[in-house]
Structure 1
């Protein structure tokens, strides 16, 4: 599952030097490869916004000092992984640091909104990676089908499925999925 640290370091160098290409939203590193992700569609981004608002409203009570944020990379150099989740919950102070990415031990929740173009990545590869990183909760939201899955530790053995419209528990948080839209 992990790759040689020198290979991973070289992949990071290459990724940092890639030109910005219109339509390419994120660059990730997984399985010894640089993966260029397409820019998300509007309903994908709307789901991220609506879920982050709900989480940020609850975090002052459940985890003071934490935020639900959508712009940071997640890196596990030991596994040779650089991911850019759609949304993560971690301490706000993490953004003050000098490191290039959020580290897995800082993250309480990762959220991925399934893309139209590469759903296998979210359903298989990221389940494996986020579990291996030790992230307690992984919320998978699929606007293609109007469904989702709450994965929880250990090893994401617990998988609670839901349909858009359900109110779900994700660890200490409660999320109303009624405002999520399917892809047109």
Structure 2
């Protein structure tokens, strides 16, 4: 049986009560609630769409580079996140509730202008904890990014052992698929 902390349950209930009433995106980490108040910019959303489309061109038909709802949640770890792109089997779209993070093959984030530490620090800590085997970050602020893989245990908890940096214009390998990163927008 999965144990869910009362604090996590309270945060989750609070977020449900705020649905559609408070602008922005909410996520839950072990440190508390993350609220990104800014609506994603066109360069952010264009990058998300391009990465998703480019992945789907090279992945097998039974996989999806999903950019929508729902969240990825591990109540036992007290973490609920919403990746910009999730590589999952199509069969995971069936049913209700949050996605089980153990079903993701990769999570991809496009760094937001308003809260870059959420992607570079918080999610870099949370995604290996959730068991997501590959985490890719595209950063329109710098025209660069990194792909993290090979989860290993550390005294602070699971972490990615391998980091492969890239610059926009180079090919990027995410799990088993390589996509171009040319022509992705940068923040002005």
* Shared fold, TM over 0.5: yes
CA distance in 1, matches of 2:102, 2:19: 31
Aligned residue in 2 for 1:168: 172
Q: Tell me by how many angstroms 1:68 deviates.
A: 0.4
Q: Deviations over 1:73-107 (max 9, x none)?
A: 11011110111111100112212112x21111100
Q: Tell me by how many angstroms 1:156 deviates.
A: 1.3
Unaligned 5+ runs, structure 2? 152-158
CA distance in 2, matches of 1:127, 1:19: 26
Q: Tell me by how many angstroms 1:19 deviates.
A: 4.9
Greater share of helix: 1
Do structure 1's residue 159 and structure 2's residue 180 form an aligned pair? no
2:137/2:145 contact within 8 Å kept: yes
Q: Pairwise mapping of residues 25-174 of structure 1 onto structure 2 (< 5 A)?
A: 25-37=24-36, 38-60=38-60, 64-72=61-69, 73-98=71-96, 100-154=97-151, 155-174=159-178
CA distance in 1, matches of 2:181, 2:91: 29
1:7 is paired with a residue of what secondary structure? Answer: helix
Q: Deviations over 1:142-181 (max 9, x none)?
A: 0000000010112311100000000121221001000211
- Cα RMSD (Å) of the superposition? 1.6
Q: Pairwise mapping of residues 19-30 of structure 1 onto structure 2 (< 5 A)?
A: 19-21=19-21, 24-30=23-29
Query: Which stretch of structure 1 is more off in the superposition, 140-149 or 72-81?
Result: 72-81
Deviation >4 Å, runs of 4+: none
Do structure 1's residue 5 and structure 2's residue 2 form an aligned pair? no
Aligned residue in 1 for 2:156: none
Taking a change above 3 Å as real, the CA distance of residues 116 and 21 of structure 1, as seen in their structure-2 partners, is farther
Count of aligned residue pairs for this structure pair: 177
State the TM-score, normalizing by the size of structure 2.
0.88
CA distance in 2, matches of 1:19, 1:106: 25
Q: Deviations over 1:11-51 (max 9, x none)?
A: 111100015357x3321111352222222100000001001
Query: Which stretch of structure 1 is more off in the superposition, 149-158 or 102-111?
Result: 149-158
State the TM-score, normalizing by the size of structure 1.
0.90
